[in-house]
Chain A
C-alpha cells in the first residue's frame, strides 16, 4: 500500500475512479455510445481537473504526466499508422483478395480459421514481437479470410491474451519478477502452470465468439487438444528457463496441432469445405497477376525481420538508435512520488514493430516494382486512406493514455489498487487479477500493469500472509488477459479493419469474456492458496 500520496478513504477512491467510469459508461451504455476519442478527451479533462483540485498535482506534474502519455501514445500509434498503411498498400495491388481466397481454400472451416489463426497464430506473433503487433497483423488477416471486422478484432484480442506475459520476449514476466523480487524459477514455472486453464479457456472464448455454443460443442475436443499442447509447450519452455520464447513455442505448437487436428475427419471439422461460407467458394490463385506468396510477401518479411531482430547481436545493434524522452522525478502536494525515467517508451530502430513494418513495406515495394505489380498510383491513395482511417484512433489513443498517465503520476491509480486490495480481505486472491486488468486496460500493456501494480500485489499478499508467488503470478495473468480489453489495443484493431470510432462494437464482445476468464484466474489463485497451500 502507498505510504505516501492521497489518503485511502471512500471519497478519494470514488473521485479517483471518475475518469475510468467516464470511459466505461460513455462508451458502453447504449444510450450514449460515445466514440473513443470523445470519451478519451472528456476522461483526460476529468483526470486533469481532479489531479489539480483533489490529488495535489501542480501544472508541472500534470504537464509531465500528459507528456508521458503522449510519448507512450506515439509508441502505440506508430504501430497503428504503419500497419494500416501496409494493409492499404496490399489492398491497392489487389493482394487482399488473393490472400483471403487462398487461405480460405486451405482451411475453409471458419471455426478452424478462428482457432488456428485467431488463437494459436496470434499467440505466436505475440511471442515473437508483441507490442500490439498481433492485433495489427492478425485482425486484418481475419477480415481478409471472411470474418466480420468487429468479430475479427474481438477474436484476435481474446485469442492472443494467453500469450502476453511470456510474449514480447518475456518482457512482462521479467517485469513482475523484478518488481516482486521473487525467485525467477519459482515464479516462472508456477506462472506457466497457472496459465494452463486461462490458455484453454481463451480457446473456448474464441470458438464462442466465432459461432456461439454450436462452435463450442463442435470444437471442444480440438480446443482441449490444442490448448493442452500449447500449455505444455509454454510450461516445458518455462521449466527449461527459456521464458522469453515460451509463448513462441506454445503458439507454434498450437498452429501445427491445429492444422493437423482439423484435417482429421473424425472431428467433423474437415478443412475440405463442408462449412465454407459462400465467399470462400471462389477459386484460389491469382488476381490481376499477383500470386498468394507475392501478395503475402510483406507479412513474410515482417515475421522474418521480427525473428531476426531478436537475435542478440541484431538486438544490441538496433537498441541504440532510439526515440525516447527523459522525464525528471515528480511529487504531488500530497507527497505521491514518481521516479525520473530516461528514454521513456523507447521506439528502438530494430526492436519496435513500426520500423520493421516500414522495412517490410520498402522491400516489398522493390519486389512489386520489379515484378510489375506496382502499377499506377499506389502510395498516395493508400496514404490518403490511411490518414482518414487513423484520425479518430490517434486522438482516442492520445487522450486515453494521457488520462492513464496523469492518474498514475498523481497516485489515483495506486489508490484504486490499494482500495481493491484492502477492501477484499481473504477474498483478495479472487480480486487480485482484476488489479492486473485495471493496469492493462489503462496503459494497454501487461508490462506496464506489472510495473504499476506488481509491488502493491506482493506487499498486500505479504500483509495478508498468503502466497506471494501465486499472487505475483495472478497479477501478471490478469494483465495478460486484460489485454483483450486494453483500450489502445482495441483502437489499434478498429483502425486496421476500418472500424475507427466504433470501438464499442468490439468492447461489448470482449469484456464479458475478459471478466469471466479473469474470475476463473482469481478462483484458481484462491484454490491454490487456500486449498492447496500454494506459496
Chain B
C-alpha cells in the first residue's frame, strides 16, 4: 500500500513534469492530442492531490 506522503510527492512531481508538456502542447506545437493528454495528466494529479492532502 502506497503511503499518503508518497502520493503527495507524486502529485507534486507529476504536476511539475506536466508543466512543460502543457505548454508545448498548447503553445509551441499547438497540438490537440498533446494538449489533451497534458490536461488529463494534470487532472489526474489534481485528483491525487485532492485525495492525499
Residues of A within 8 A of B (CB): 35, 37-38, 40-42, 44-45, 48, 59-60, 62-64, 66-67, 70, 325-328, 391-392, 394-396, 398-399, 501
Which 6 A-B pairs have CB atoms at the shortest separation, nearest pair first? A63-B26, A41-B49, A41-B46, A37-B53, A38-B53, A41-B50
Q: Is the CB of B46 within 8 A of A64?
A: no
Q: Is the CB of A66 within 8 A of B39?
A: yes
Q: Is the CB of B47 within 8 A of A41?
A: yes
CA distance A64 to B23 in the complex (A): 7
A398 closest partner in B (C-beta) = B15
Q: Is the CB of B23 within 8 A of A391?
A: no
Nearest-neighbour CB distance to chain B for A324, whole angstroms, equals 12
- Most-contacted residue by chain A among B32, B43, B49 (CB, 10 A): B49
CA distance A67 to B27 in the complex (A): 9
B48 closest partner in A (C-beta) = A41
- Most-contacted residue by chain B among A67, A70, A327, A399 (CB, 10 A): A67
Which DSSP category, helix, strand, loop or mixed, fits chain A's interface? Answer: helix
Q: Is the CB of A395 within 8 A of B53?
A: yes
Name the interface residues of B1-53: CB closer than 8 Å to any CB of A.
8-9, 11-12, 15, 19, 22-23, 25-27, 30, 32, 35-36, 38-39, 42-43, 46-47, 49-50, 53
Q: A45-B46, A391-B8, A395-B8 are in contact. Are A325 and B23 (CB under 8 A)?
A: yes
CA distance A396 to B46 in the complex (A): 10
Q: Is the CB of A60 within 8 A of B46?
A: no
Q: Is the CB of A327 within 8 A of B50?
A: no
CA distance A391 to B14 in the complex (A): 12
Q: Is the CB of A399 within 8 A of B46?
A: yes
Nearest-neighbour CB distance to chain B for A517, whole angstroms, equals 31
Residues of B within 8 A of A62 (CB): 39
Q: Is the CB of A391 within 8 A of B26?
A: no
Q: Is the CB of B50 within 8 A of A59?
A: no
Nearest-neighbour CB distance to chain B for A379, whole angstroms, equals 21
Q: Is the CB of A44 within 8 A of B53?
A: no
CA distance A326 to B15 in the complex (A): 20
Q: Is the CB of B19 within 8 A of A70?
A: yes
Q: Is the CB of B43 within 8 A of A60?
A: no
Residues of A within 8 A of B49 (CB): 37-38, 40-41, 395, 399
Residues of B within 8 A of A42 (CB): 46, 50
A501 closest partner in B (C-beta) = B53
Residues of B within 8 A of A63 (CB): 22, 25-26, 35, 38-39
User: What are 15 of the A-B contact pairs (CB < 8 Å)?
Assistant: A37-B8, A37-B11, A41-B46, A41-B49, A41-B53, A45-B43, A45-B46, A59-B32, A66-B42, A70-B19, A391-B8, A391-B12, A395-B12, A398-B15, A399-B49
Residues of A within 8 A of B50 (CB): 38, 41-42, 45
Q: Is the CB of B35 within 8 A of A60?
A: yes
CA distance A327 to B32 in the complex (A): 17
Residues of A within 8 A of B36 (CB): 59
CA distance A38 to B49 in the complex (A): 6
Residues of B within 8 A of A392 (CB): 8, 53
Q: Is the CB of A48 within 8 A of B43?
A: yes
Residues of A within 8 A of B11 (CB): 37, 41, 395
A49 closest partner in B (C-beta) = B43
Nearest-neighbour CB distance to chain B for A523, whole angstroms, equals 39
Q: Is the CB of A326 within 8 A of B27?
A: yes
Residues of A within 8 A of B19 (CB): 67, 70
B23 closest partner in A (C-beta) = A67
- Most-contacted residue by chain A among B11, B30, B39, B42 (CB, 10 A): B42
Tell me which of B8, B9, B22, B30 contacts A67 (CB under 8 A). Answer: B22
Nearest-neighbour CB distance to chain B for A78, whole angstroms, equals 13
Residues of A within 8 A of B22 (CB): 63, 66-67, 70
Residues of A within 8 A of B39 (CB): 48, 59, 62-63, 66
Nearest-neighbour CB distance to chain A for B2, whole angstroms, equals 15
CA distance A8 to B22 in the complex (A): 31
CA distance A284 to B31 in the complex (A): 63
CA distance A350 to B53 in the complex (A): 35
Residues of A within 8 A of B47 (CB): 41, 45
B34 closest partner in A (C-beta) = A63
